[in-house]
Amino acid sequence: MIKGKAFVLGKNIDTDQIIPAAHLVYSLEDPEERKFYGRYALSGVPSEQSGLPEGGIPLVPEDKFETEFTIIIGGPNFGCGSSREHAPAALQIAGIRAIVSPGYARIFYRNSVDGGFVVPYESFEDLSSKVKTGDELEIDREKREIRNLTQDESYPIKELGSVADIINAGGIFAYAREQGMM
């Protein structure tokens, strides 16, 4: 079960908006540099796609490296753009544990799962107009639903299917080791 505050985004959030190329200068291997991926996560999202009023709050405050939000509610085609695996890594480093979208760009979805970065849940509908930034959510994988504790509503989500084992293992390499493939 994943529980926390929602951060709502619109449709077609691309990997360059998730982590702009200007911030790819930091090493993911160096702990002191790695945290900057969290600071700059979603810093390229224009306000009209943020689901927030003009000048709304950023995912991560300027003087912080992590966010108060745990779950991203995204519109369709989340993670489109380049194949950079830095995008789901930046979200994880920022403190995001799950994303809920009605559809993902394939490479972003696989990078999220294979790297063990964030859990990409699929909703049956676009929830970005129903959930508000700051709503308290609870994702129950077993019941395949999201409960909006703030609005006292529930929304069904799709089963994770065959990627659940990879997610449970913590990524594709951990899964391969568990299965004796490495």
**Span 84-143, pLDDT tens digits:** 889 999 999 999 999 999 999 999 999 999 999 999 999 999 999 999 999 999 999 999
Residues of the chain with pLDDT > 90, as a percent, come to 85
Q: What's the confidence (pLDDT) of residue 54?
A: 54
Sign of CA dihedral 143, 145, 149, 152: negative
Q: What's the confidence (pLDDT) of residue 182?
A: 82
Cα separation, 4 vs 142, whole angstroms: 17
Cα separation, 5 vs 137, whole angstroms: 6
Instruction: Tally Cβ neighbours within 10 Å of residue 132.
Output: 15
Whole-model pTM: value is: 0.93
Would you place residue 82 in the very low, low, confident or very high pLDDT band (cuts 50, 70, 90)? Answer: confident
Cα separation, 67 vs 61, whole angstroms: 7
Cα separation, 12 vs 88, whole angstroms: 15
- Would you call 15 exposed, middle or buried from its count of C-beta atoms within 10 A (0-12, 13-18, 19+)? buried
Would you place residue 149 in the very low, low, confident or very high pLDDT band (cuts 50, 70, 90)? Answer: very high
**Annotation: CATH topology of 2-178:** Aconitase; domain 4 (3.20.19)
Q: Is residue 68 pLDDT above 70, yes or no?
A: yes
Would you place residue 64 in the very low, low, confident or very high pLDDT band (cuts 50, 70, 90)? Answer: very high
Greatest pairwise CA separation for the chain in angstroms: 51
Looking at 1-5, 20-24, 108-112, 148-152, which range is the least confident one? 20-24
φ/ψ region of 154 (left if φ > 0, alpha if ψ in -120 to 50, else beta) reads beta
The helix/strand/coil state of 121 is: strand
Go through the chain and tell me how many residues it has.
182
